[in-house]
Amino acid sequence: MKALVLEKYNEFVLQETDIPELKPGWVLIQVEACGICGSDVHGMDGSTGRRQPPVIMGHEAAGTIHQIASDVMGWNVGDRVTFDSTISCGECFYCKRGDINLCDNRRVLGVSCNEYRQNGAFAEYVAVPSHILYAIPENISFEQAAMIEAVSVAVHAVAISSVQANDTAVVIGCGMIGLLCIQALKATGCGKVIAIDLIDEKLKMAVELGADQTIKSNNPYLIKLVLGETENRGADLVLEVVGIEQTVNLAIDCTRKGGTVTLVGNLSPEVKFSLQKVVTRQLKVQGSCASAGEYPLCLELIASGKIKVDPLISKVAALEEGNEWFHRLYNKEAGLMKVILKP
């Protein structure tokens, strides 16, 4: 099969590789679409240590079942499917609690690190265990289904933030996940969503996708503006979708006493924040990791139109063009959001 291989850091090569082995309990998927994730882009230069060459990246994918192991039940060749980016074991303490994103033995497709190597879906075929498969509704395209993993990250973050009717939420960072968080908040019944970013184009899209108010992050009156929209209290919850020290502290400053700060972004491995503010204002500060079984809900939200993914897809390109598009994303080309590759 042909596959896009990270042959060495910052260099992808289209190669002929072996079709993945079909293990008991697994299925072989013929890939129809696979999105380039920000974690893939950040990892291509070796800075994260989680994309060690050679490796086939890709974990945001959809396709059709090509082959099924003899012990797999409930699925048929030709079924249209997507699948979780995380291979969970189903047996550990966390899996049995339903926290599959925290699985002790988790593997992420397309990741090659010190602990394991798990080739992904930038290829004609990918093999996955059947327990992470989800059927794609007929009114969802393969390209839309390749967005499910990103949607699930946003939906999970909102789910653990315990949104109440008529809450006011702030979303800091209007990249793709931030824009999906805005839509997930509105779908959950959040009363008002305030979007914060530095780039006008992203703030414009935030409004188009449901944000009620936007504020540029370099506005010197930012906190006063948030207070003005929240009866001088601060937001009930803030989703921080960047992951740097400045925006984490901004999230804390935007939150009312007793409110919730959910950290979704993780660009910086470490940040400093005011412990005193968190303690004396009794803030709940929590991290949000991947997703934990929200795929069926995400498929329903896309199928119903409550979450729109088409505006976030900047380009659908052939797998052969993958090296070029990876570098365009790496160089932060203006206007580029999600690029989807098709084998």
Tens digit of pLDDT for each residue in 277-323?
Answer: 999 999 999 999 999 999 999 999 999 999 999 999 999 999 999 99
d(CA 267, CA 264): 10
Residue 31's identity, in one-letter code, is V
Each domain of the chain, given as residue ranges in start order, spans: 2-147+309-342, 154-287
pLDDT score for 1: 97
Do 103 and 73 contact (CB within 8 A), yes or no?
no
**Inter-residue contact 109 to 116 (CB < 8 Å):** no
Q: In this predicted structure, what is the pLDDT of residue 245?
A: 97
CA nearest to 147, candidates 342, 319, 339:
339
Q: Is the pLDDT of residue 167 over 90?
A: yes
Q: Which residues contact 239 (CB under 8 A, 6 or more apart)?
A: 157, 158, 161, 169, 170, 171, 172, 178, 181, 185, 251, 262, 264
Could you give the CA distance from residue 32 to residue 18 in angstroms, rounded to a whole number?
Answer: 18
Query: Identity (one letter) of the amino acid at 225?
Result: L
Predicted local distance difference test score (pLDDT) of residue 158: 98
Query: What 3 state SS string does 322-339 have?
Result: HHHHHHHHHCCCCCCCEE
The class that CATH gives domain 2-147+309-342 is alpha beta
Q: Which CATH number fits domain 154-287: 1.20.950.20, 3.40.50.300, 3.40.50.720, 3.10.105.10?
A: 3.40.50.720
* 54 neighbors 17 (Cβ within 8 angstroms): no
pLDDT at 45 over 90: yes
Give the tens place of pLDDT for each residue, 220-265. Answer: 999 999 999 999 999 999 999 999 999 999 999 999 999 999 999 9
pLDDT computed for residue 267 by the predictor: 86
Per DSSP, helices labelled H in the chain are 38-43, 93-97, 142-145, 148-159, 176-188, 200-208, 222-228, 245-254, 275-280, 295-304, 322-330
Strands (E), 17-59: 26-35
pLDDT band at 47; cut points 50, 70, 90: confident
Q: What is the pLDDT of residue 36?
A: 97
What are 95's two structure tokens?
């899996």
**Residue 112 scores a pLDDT above 90:** yes
pTM of this prediction exceeds 0.85 = yes
- The answer to whether 169 touches 235, Cβ cutoff 8 Å, is yes
Distance of CA 25 to the CA centre of its chain: 26
What pLDDT sits at residue 62?
98
Mean pLDDT of the chain: 97
179 neighbors 206 (Cβ within 8 angstroms):
yes
Tell me how many degrees the CA angle 160-161-167 measures, rounded to the nearest 5: 145
The pLDDT of residue 101 is above 90: yes
Per-residue model confidence as pLDDT tens digits over 136-158 = 999 999 999 999 999 999 999 99
The two structure tokens encoding residue 52: 């060690």
pLDDT (mean) for 51-69? 97
List of residues 6+ apart from 51 with CB closer than 8 A: 6, 40, 43, 44, 57, 110, 111, 112
